[in-house]
Amino acid sequence: MSLVDDLYRETILDHYHNPRNHGCIENATTSVEGVNPLCGDELTLYLKVNEAGLIEDIKMNAHGCSINTASGSMMSEAILGQTVERAKEIIESFKNMMLTKGEELPLDEEMEDLEALRGVKKYPVRIKCALLPWNTLLEGLETAGAKPGLSSTLSDSK
> pLDDT of 31-81, one tens digit each?
999 999 888 999 999 999 999 999 999 999 999 999 999 999 999 999 999
Residue 157 is assigned to a structural domain of this protein: no
For residues 94, 100, 102 and 104, what is the CA-based torsion angle, rounded to 10 degrees? -20
CA-wise closest residue to 119 among 76, 71, 80: 71
> One-letter amino acid identity for 23?
G
Determine, yes or no, domain membership for 15.
yes
Query: d(Cα 87, Cα 127) in Å, to the nearest integer?
Result: 20
pTM of the model: 0.86
Sheet of 55-63, strands arranged across? 30-36, 41-49, 55-63
Coil, helix or strand at residue 110: helix
CA distance 49 to 29: 6
Collapse the DSSP code of 22 into the 3-class scheme (helix H, G, I; strand E, B; otherwise coil) and give the result.
strand
**Model confidence pLDDT, tens digit, residues 105-143:** 667 777 778 888 988 888 888 999 999 999 999 999 998
Read off the CATH number of the domain in which 19 is found: 3.90.1010.10
Pairing assessment for the beta strands 41-49 and 30-36 based on DSSP bridges: antiparallel
Distance between CA atoms of residues 12 and 144, nearest Å: 29
Q: Is residue 127 part of a domain?
A: yes
Q: How far is CA 48 from the centre of its chain?
A: 15
| Confidence bin at 3 (pLDDT 50/70/90) | low
Instruction: Flag whether pLDDT at 149 surpasses 50.
Output: yes
Q: How many domains are there within the chain?
A: 1
Q: Establish if 158 belongs to a structural domain.
A: no
Looking at residue 23, what is its pLDDT?
96
Residue 57 sits in which domain range? 3-147
| Per-residue confidence (pLDDT) for residue 158, from 0 to 100 | 40
154 assigned to some structural domain: no
Residue 19 domain flag: yes
Domain presence at residue 17 = yes
Q: Is residue 94 part of a domain?
A: yes
CA-nearest of 144, 156, 149 to 49 is 144
Residue 49: beta bridge partners?
55
| pLDDT tens digit sequence for 85-106 | 999 999 999 999 999 887 676 6
